Amino acid sequence: KMAGSSTPWVGSAYLFLQSTCKTIVLPSLYESSQKKAGVFKALKLALADSTGSVNGVDMLKVHCSHPHLIIQLKFCKQENCRRFLQSYREGKLQESLQNHLQLSLAMTTVPLEMELKAGKEHLDSMLKDEDHCLECIYREKPDRLRDEEITELEEYFKSLIVHQSINNNVAVKDSVSLNSPSLPHPSQGNSHSPEATFTFQGQQFANRMLTTDDHQKFAKLVSKKWKQVGRSLQKNCRALRDPVIDNLALEYDREGLYEQAYQMLLRFIQSEGKKATIVRLIVALEENGLISLAEELLGLHSNEDCS
């Protein structure tokens, strides 16, 4: 009924995860360059436990939508999906994931709440009707290929199995392989080294970290284009990946454009740390035609009221 004998069985579902412990925020752990690999490893192992195979279910993307971590799953065989549903229904998947997160993140306990959706269907309310759940998952075809970040993590996971015990190397490898291409770092060389400067409108500027003043000016002047700038920044900043920007727009709708823009840039600064440099913001502003704001941040406007 669901697929002809010659057609491969393929379906998709979303697994929503949330920690019931206030001090453990799964999206924040996944967005951390040092914890990301540990969270991914726990997800990978728990899903393998649920289907009895490392390749029983494929992760296509991990969304960070505070407070939820949302995993888009792809099933390529009905039997694997059936095993997954049984494991989920019996609480084995939840128990397995809690245990793997505890080990991977070196925590005492990671209590979880889980929810499973396929399209608009909430599968938790119909788990006893396994065939109906399978039909819902089969109807939802994957709408994407595997995210490149997941492909990187898959490779990293393989190397992690070999080098499980070298924690320091893991953290270093993680930050090198998963972060955006390294931009000039304040500690590299002296202030005259070419990496520490960039050119804008024919002038040389020091590539410094973003300041509180930059942050406030940006939020005040960017107006409705803050989302476009956020989407330009998200290319090299995983903390701003979809659906984060849309969630910020909804969350701070009442507070208005200033707060929405402020919170977006705050996410960028908090996640990128020393890599949250002025050149990255200037490039994003240029991409969106906000030359006047770029000039303002670089002190090229002689405003009388610089309050």
* CATH code for the domain of 203: 1.10.533.10
Checking if the pLDDT of 307 tops 50, the result is no
Q: Which of 52-56, 212-216, 239-243 has the highest mean pLDDT?
A: 212-216
Residue 41 lies in a domain: yes
Structure-model confidence comparison of residues 288 and 189, the more confident one: 288
Please check whether residues 137 and 39 belong to one and the same domain: yes
Range(s) of the domain holding residue 18? 11-156
Q: Which residues, 6+ apart, have CB-to-CB distance to 154 below 8 Å?
A: 44
Q: Provide the mean pLDDT of the chain.
A: 84
Please check whether residues 106 and 201 belong to one and the same domain: no
Output the pLDDT for position 240: 92
Residue 123 lies in a domain: yes
Residue 167 lies in a domain: no
Please check whether residues 201 and 142 belong to one and the same domain: no
Please check whether residues 224 and 131 belong to one and the same domain: no
Please check whether residues 151 and 204 belong to one and the same domain: no
Please check whether residues 36 and 106 belong to one and the same domain: yes
Please check whether residues 20 and 147 belong to one and the same domain: yes
Indicate the number of domains in the chain. 2
| pLDDT digits 0-9 by tens, 129-160 | 999 999 999 999 988 888 888 888 887 776 65
Please check whether residues 129 and 236 belong to one and the same domain: no
Question: Domain holding 25: CATH number?
Answer: 3.30.70.680
The residue from 156, 188, 218 where one domain ends is 156
Question: What is the average pLDDT across 63-88?
Answer: 95
Region of residue 299 (phi > 0: left; psi between -120 and 50: alpha; otherwise: beta)? left
Please check whether residues 58 and 121 belong to one and the same domain: yes
Residue 63 lies in a domain: yes
| pLDDT digits 0-9 by tens, 22-47 | 899 999 999 988 899 899 999 999 99
| pLDDT digits 0-9 by tens, 78-132 | 999 999 999 999 999 999 999 999 998 888 889 999 999 999 999 999 999 999 9
Structure-model confidence comparison of residues 307 and 56, the more confident one: 56
Where would I find the H helices in 236-277? 244-251, 257-272
The residue from 98, 127, 156 where one domain ends is 156
Question: What is the average pLDDT across 283-297?
Answer: 94
Cβ-based neighbour number of residue 117 at 10 Å:
17
What does the block give as tokens for 239? 């903390």
The residue from 88, 123, 156 where one domain ends is 156
Find the length of the chain: 307
Checking if the pLDDT of 249 tops 50, the result is yes
Whose tokens are 């992690």? That residue is 160
pTM of the model: 0.54
Question: What is the average pLDDT across 210-215?
Answer: 93
Strand arrangement, sheet containing 112-118: 58-65, 68-75, 11-19, 112-118, 121-122
What does the block give as tokens for 119? 């399209």
Q: Cα–Cα distance between 43 and 140 in angstroms, integer? A: 22
Please check whether residues 66 and 201 belong to one and the same domain: no
Per-residue pLDDT band for 167 (boundaries 50, 70, 90) equals very low
Please check whether residues 146 and 218 belong to one and the same domain: no
